[in-house]
Chains A and B, each alone.
Chain A
């Protein structure tokens, strides 16, 4: 392993990076005196990778939900039960699939290095058969139905479907009952071969550990077959136009109060560092405009149009960028008009400079505080890494951001023309 050390003074944290000759990168963030240790083995392969190009330029298309299905099947072993093997070491193993990544992780107090070896081993040697693929379909079907009963999930995915026509982010992460029933053993093995390769994966470890021992454990656990796999497939994106797919989307569901999401689609593309900086600027603007210390929040809360569920979120990576404003309200349509009005007002008159300074201070404190929680650090670091960004640049970028920059970014990102409204409400006017 080629080893590099980095130290970040403002938050008093360090990270040690080891790069294996195969291209696999291992990151260790030592946290003294914490009892739990966490490890993540992660691939840059999530639900949006349904269509991709292999090394020879061939385009391959798979059914929706395949990355998530594969995540379930990686846990199949030739012998014994992987959950039990971890549990006998005192470790708890889990996994999750997102739009752009799949991660396998465990946490433990004892037997860390044995558990780490087990993690690296089991992800490298899944046992996928026709029979266990069929059996999994019933379980995943129940998982999909569980989400269908969740109105927050519905209003969110409806917003994505309204915003995008061809971008694969519009599909549910787990796919649909129909699409998962098409998945075969060969599909899964194919995707496994392409995306579970050293160049496409990372290991992240956090806790009171010895980094050298982490590197040695990982290195000695890598199989020859894995090391020699040199695929680094590229995602094929549908031809996504600037225009939104549909302006309004409404769905009936048994909810006590209408749930809404207003989503703003970004139509331009940005390089990773610029993208990161813009995202911070947008988040500052969102808090200034819609946060709980803003005049609009006060006005709407006192009017009874919003409650504490009113919140904002900005998602960004090389494949899609959008902002979401969501919550619950009896007046979701009127509220949308009011939100647009406020955006136009800022475009005309600008922000209050004092607000921006205060919000930057808030973000500084919140960023520092997030380094309390090992899981929070792990997800912060890996989320940004998968996007091609370095989360440790946050405070410097935050510092660099000027009033003019925020205004410029704000003016170009928030465009009513590229906004959609998603509402989930109950049938009729029954009071439940």
Chain B
């Protein structure tokens, strides 16, 4: 339960969102800095979050910073970047135990001070970030990008998006590209960083057993940003004309084939049909009660995992499964067949009711998890308004089978992506 909330603009386009709840043992602060998702910027953004953690004026090495965090009762500090559709968002988060449980009165002030050091007072040498740190983090970031292929299941999804969104910003990965990272140097990076700090919209969310007035005054005093004219960000384009479905196959060293289908839903998150498109996704491939799970796993034993997920801001639906290579055509046909069934109105009242309950239950329990809750809150802010959970639940409740059938009529298959093994896969003898 979130007892109350308060939103205040403390500087130009620096919005503070206070969320009070006394059931947690921690306080959590999240600072979100919003940028457009662009090829070169993405690499710099991702590198920045790493370089910033390496050194500040006050804590010149990561070791000094970590010693400081240990001393704050194991405070957790995380800085990274996330893709929200075609926006690229810096997230700086700090979690501390609430003052009720540890003998420290100023732990909240100290955490704001730490965030301020991290964001506003990086270690600067000759007008640039320390070269050594930049070079080491470039290497680590490149390694992170290379390591994406270690996890074949998520790599398969990533590759499907890349093939599907050729020429669109959504193709850009959250860590950018190796080529762009290699070109970055400490001076340019710092110049760029100062620019984005001044010109990007910033949101600060604080959740915990907090006193609004004192938190507001601590933040106003200790976390100030230089502001200039603030950029505005464009809404994603979600439509694309599909002349022919792309069928891409890649060969890798895998025991199990990884199949991913990418669809355009053609339904924007702010349209009336959005909730129906979420329910469509859930009925089709949302967990153990979905059509795909029941037919492809339970009835036909063709896979262990198969599920569908929706990229909210880009209106892309992805279906992914781990299967034997020889079963590809059969599984693709079964997936298409299930969509046809929905188009023909074959959805039972139970299926609809189960899907609604599952979504509503997850909305209702958002407030049980501080981190999910502030991310959810921020995600709502990106959609330009915060719809309170009760209203959102009513919208889901109002969706009918006909609404879902109309969704199934407008979604379009764009890309079929498949990763298959190098050698002839041995027959599955059951």
Given A87-B358, A257-B147, the answer on whether A372 and B370 have CB atoms closer than 8 Å is yes
Say whether B26 faces chain A, with CB atoms less than 8 Å apart. yes
Q: Tell me if B150 and A31 are in contact (CB < 8 A).
A: no
Contacts of A295 in B (CB 8 A): 63
Contacts A90-B357, A254-B149, A257-B143; A358 near B304 (Cβ below 8 A): no
Q: How far is the CA of A137 from the CA of B364 in the complex (A)?
A: 37
Would A358 and B67 count as touching, CB distance under 8 A?
A: yes
CB-CB under 8 A from B95, the residues of chain A are 369
Instruction: Confirm or deny: A273 has a beta carbon within 8 angstroms of a beta carbon on chain B.
Output: no
Q: Quick one: which of A262-313 are within 8 Å of B by CB?
A: 291-295, 297-298, 301-302, 304, 307-308
Find out whether the CB atom of A292 lies under 8 angstroms from the CB atom of B62: yes
Q: Are A92 and B358 in contact (CB under 8 A)?
A: yes
Are A149's CB and B25's CB within 8 A?
no
Given A36-B365, A83-B289, A84-B350: A150 and B151 within 8 A (CB)? yes
For residue B148, which residues in chain A have a CB less than 8 angstroms away from its CB?
256
Please report the C-alpha to C-alpha distance between residue A140 and residue B430 in the assembled complex, in whole angstroms: 11
B428 at the interface (CB under 8 A from A): yes
Within 8 A of A (CB), among B115-143: 132, 136, 139-140, 143
B136 touches A302 (CB 8 A): yes
Q: Give the residue of A11, A92, A145, A291 whose beta carbon is less than 8 angstroms from that of B256.
A: A145
Question: Do residues A87 and B23 form an inter-chain contact, with CB atoms below 8 A?
Answer: no
B273 interfacial by beta-carbon distance below 8 Å: no
| Cα of A90 to Cα of B359 in the assembled complex, Å | 9
A81, chain B: closest CB distance, angstroms:
8
Please give me the residue from chain B that is nearest to A358 by CB atom. B70
Q: Is B252 engaged at the interface, CB distance under 8 Å to the other chain?
A: yes
Asked, given contacts A88-B357, A138-B302, whether A362 binds B147 with beta carbons under 8 Å apart, the answer is no
Shortest CB-to-CB span from A99 to chain B, Å, is: 20
C-alpha gap A93/B294 in the complex (Å): 15
Cβ of A359 < 8 Å from any Cβ of B? Answer: yes
* B62 touches which of A81, A298, A373, A432 (Cβ 8 Å): A298
Chain B hits for A34, CB < 8 A: 23, 368
Within 8 A of B (CB), among A124-143: 134-143
Contact A83 B288, CB 8 Å, known A255-B150, A257-B147? yes
Q: Does A364 contact B (CB under 8 A)?
A: yes
Does chain A have a CB within 8 A of B12?
A: no
A380 to chain B, nearest CB (A): 13
Interface check A108, CB cutoff 8 A: yes
Knowing A110-B361, A293-B67 are in contact, say whether A365-B301 is a contact too (CB < 8 A). no
For residue B226, give the distance in angstroms from its CB to the closest CB of chain A: 30
Q: Are A35 and B152 in contact (CB under 8 A)?
A: no
Instruction: Flag whether B72 is at the interface (Cβ < 8 A).
Output: yes
| B287 on interface, CB distance cutoff 8 Å | yes
Hey, which chain A residues are within 8 Å of B23, CB to CB?
31-34
Smallest CB–CB gap between B86 and chain A, Å? 27
Among B25, B61, B70, B364, contact of A11 (Cβ-Cβ < 8 Å) = B25
**Are A373 and B369 in touch, CB under 8 angstroms?**
yes
Given contacts A90-B361, A368-B102, contact A293 B70 (CB under 8 A): yes
Using a CB–CB cutoff of 8 Å, the interface residues on chain A facing chain B are 10-12, 31-36, 81, 83-84, 87-93, 107-110, 134-143, 145-146, 148-152, 253-257, 259, 291-295, 297-298, 301-302, 304, 307-308, 328, 358-359, 361-366, 368-369, 371-374, 432
* Besides the known contacts A84-B350, A139-B303, A254-B149, 17 further A-B residue pairs in the complex with CB atoms under 8 A apart: A34-B368, A36-B365, A84-B289, A87-B354, A88-B354, A139-B301, A143-B304, A145-B255, A148-B255, A149-B152, A149-B254, A150-B151, A254-B253, A254-B254, A257-B147, A364-B102, A365-B72
Q: In the A-B complex, list the 3 residue pairs whose CB atoms are closest, starting with the nearest.
A: A365-B73, A138-B301, A256-B146
Could you list 9 A-B pairs, sorted by A, with CB under 8 Å?
Answer: A87-B354, A87-B357, A92-B287, A109-B365, A145-B322, A254-B252, A256-B148, A295-B63, A364-B102
